[in-house]
Each structure stands twice: as C-alpha cells, then as structure tokens.
Amino acid sequence: MWEEILKIIPKIDASTLSKMEKTLSSRFARAAKSLGKGLVATLAGGGIIGSILAIAEKILNPLKEVQETIEKLLDSSRGIVENAKQFGAQSGELFRLQKMAQASGMAPEELNQLLVKYQAAVAQAKADPSKDTSVRRYANDKDMVASFFQFIQSLNTLPAQKQVLVEQEVFGEKATLRVAEFLRTDFAQLSKQMSLLPAEMYTKRLDKDSDLAKMATVLQAKGEANSFIKNSDAMNSKIIAERDAARQREADKETRRLQSYDSLAAVEKTTDAILDGLDKLYLKLNDFVVDGVRFMDNATDFMQKLQGSRLFRMTSKFFGD
C-alpha cells in the first residue's frame, strides 16, 4: 500500500537480510523450546488426567446419546402398542395415523384425544340404537382406529357447515385449526407423499420393541431389587455418622461465608470495578482503532486523489519520477 501511495520501494542488502533471518530463527527456536517444556509439564501434571477425562467424555457421550435413543424407541413403541390395544387396533395402523396427523401439525396426544372422544360417541350410539347420531353406522365397529379413519374420510364429503356440526356432535367442540386441517386431509395423497409403508410393516416392529420395553422394565425392577439387598447390607451406623459429619462441614462452610459476607461483598465490588474499568478501556481502545482505520482510509483516499491531480503530475515530472 505504501509503495502505491508514496512510490517508495524499500531495499535491504544481503548482509542485513541474513542477520534478520538468523535473529528470527533464534527467537522462533526459543519460543518453540519454551512451548515444548510447557506442554510436557502440563501432561506430566494434571494434563494427563485432563486428557484422559476428555477422551472418556468423547467415548461416553455417543453412548449416552445411544442410550437416550434406545429409551425413546422403547417407550414410544410400548405406548403406541398399549394405546392400539385400547382402541382394538393394530399398532401399525395407529402409528400410520399418528404420522399423518403429525404431518398436519398435530401431536400424538391430540390424536389420542380425538380417538377417545370418537370411541365414546360410538359406544353411546351402540348403547342406544334408536338415537340418530352421525356415527350410528359405525356402532358395531371394533377397530376404532380403522373406524375413525373411515369416519373422517366420509366427513370430507359433507358440506362445510355440516362438517362443523358433526365435529361438534362427535368431539364435543369446534375443531381447532390444526385438528380441522387434519380432518380435511386428502389421506391418499398424503400417504403417497410420505411414502408410508403398509401397517403390517410397522406393527411387526412396534410389537417387537414393545416386548423389549417390557423386558427392560422387568430387568430394571430385578436389578433394583437386588441392589436394595446389597445396599441395605452395606448400610451401617458408620456411614450415617460420616454422612452427618459431611453435612455438618457443609453447614459450617455456609456459616463462615455468612459471617464473611461483608468481606466477600467488598471483594466482589472491587472485582466488578476492575472489570468495569477494563471494559471501558477496551471500548476506548476499540474507538481508537476505529478512528485509526478511518484516518488511514481517508489518507489513502486523499493520496489517491492527489496522485490523479495535475499538481502531483507536474511535481512528479519535475523530480524525474
């Protein structure tokens, strides 16, 4: 930049350049040696332990994530299977319906509430066949998921005003926007867009995972029962006394802190003042740097304009540039 502005080309002779190279090489060597000693000291001390803990953390974190995935899969599968049994349906059918509801912005819990209300309406229609209701034709259905699916599909064939009346009759209230969107879904098109598999494909896997969830629950209960015996046998008066002593030490520490509150507050006040001063200094330095950059930008613009001026060209010719 300076060469472009001032037309000054710096020159260094060979001996000076060689001397600079040796000086820089010596400095870099000393810095590298010092850094190497620091690393050795760090690893020889707490650094080794820290490194081991860091490596262990890297190993255990993925395992923790996998464990969370297992728990989520088992709990979800078991919940779907249990709900499907409540509605007399295959778990895969409920799973497919839940996914289509999810695509409409509904949570599984919201869908389950609709199914429960629909199941109650069907039960009432079956209990009183003489009563004219919107679900009377479904009164003898046993699979509530399949029945509900057929009902909401037929609901879409009704005029908009009639749909609202039926929804209020069956579900007891006007559907929310999310529910209304779901009830008016083109399920054939949505299923195609989502590339959903046949219900049997999901049922097989959900039932298997539900059985594994039950197995995990049994093993957990068994383990806790065994741990109770071991822990109870290990428990004694010495442990209780040591535990109370530790509690007392912590209580004494809290008391000392309360007694020294004024001193701690003074230290905190001084620390805050120092940090506040450093923050102000940083802001001033930042302003100084910004002003410097602006000055250099303005100087560069000025020199560029000066180079293009008639006076500069005349001066350059005069000095033989």
**What is the tens place of the pLDDT at every residue in 188-223?**
888 889 999 999 999 999 999 999 999 999 999 999
Q: At what angle do helices 48-86 and 199-234 cross, to 10 degrees?
A: 120
User: Residue 244's pLDDT is what?
Assistant: 95
Is pTM beyond 0.75? Reply is: no
Give 20-83 as a DSSP string: HHHHHHHHHHHHHHHHHHHHHHHIIIIIHHHHHHHHHHHHHHHHHHHHHHHHHHHHHHHHHHHH
Query: With contact defined as beta carbons under 8 Å apart, do 202 and 96 qualify?
Result: yes
Chain position carrying tokens 């009377």 = 136
Model confidence band, residue 261 (pLDDT cutoffs 50, 70, 90): confident
Which range among 23-32, 89-98, 258-267, 306-315 shows the weakest confidence by mean pLDDT? 23-32
Structure tokens at 178: 């999310």
* pLDDT band, residue 260 (cuts 50/70/90): confident
Output phi, psi for 71, to 5 deg. -60, -45
Amino acid at 249: R
In the chain, the percentage of residues whose pLDDT exceeds 70 is 73
Domain residue extents for the chain: 75-206
Specify the DSSP class assigned to residue 131: S
Whether 89 and 146 have beta carbons less than 8 Å apart is answered as: yes
Is the per-residue pLDDT at 10 higher than 80? Answer: no
Q: 3-class SS at 186? A: coil
Report which of 48, 100, 67 is spatially closest to residue 220, judged by C-alpha positions: 67
58-to-45, 63, 64, 72 alpha-carbon distances in Å: 21, 9, 10, 22
Is pLDDT larger for residue 3 or for residue 58?
A: 58
Q: 316 or 72: whose pLDDT is higher?
A: 72
Spatial distance between the Cα atoms of 297 and 155, rounded to a whole number of angstroms: 71
Instruction: Determine the average pLDDT of the residues in 267-272.
Output: 82
Q: Which of 7-11, 127-131, 286-290 has the lowest mean pLDDT?
A: 7-11
pLDDT bin (cut points 50, 70, 90) of residue 299 is low
- Sorted by sequence, the CB contacts under 8 Å of residue 121 that are 6+ apart come out as 133, 134, 135, 169, 170
Q: What confidence category does residue 257 fall into, taking pLDDT thresholds of 50, 70 and 90?
A: confident
**pLDDT reading at 3 higher than 50:** no
Least confident span in 60-69, 70-79, 120-129, 140-149: 60-69
| Percent of the chain surpassing pLDDT 90 | 39
Cα 152 from Cα 59, distance rounded (Å):
49
Give me the count of residues in the chain.
321
In this structure, what token pair is assigned to residue 126? 């079956």
pLDDT (mean) for 16-30: 54
Q: Which of the 8 DSSP states describes residue 175?
A: P
Between helix 144-155 and helix 108-127 the angle, nearest 10°, is 90
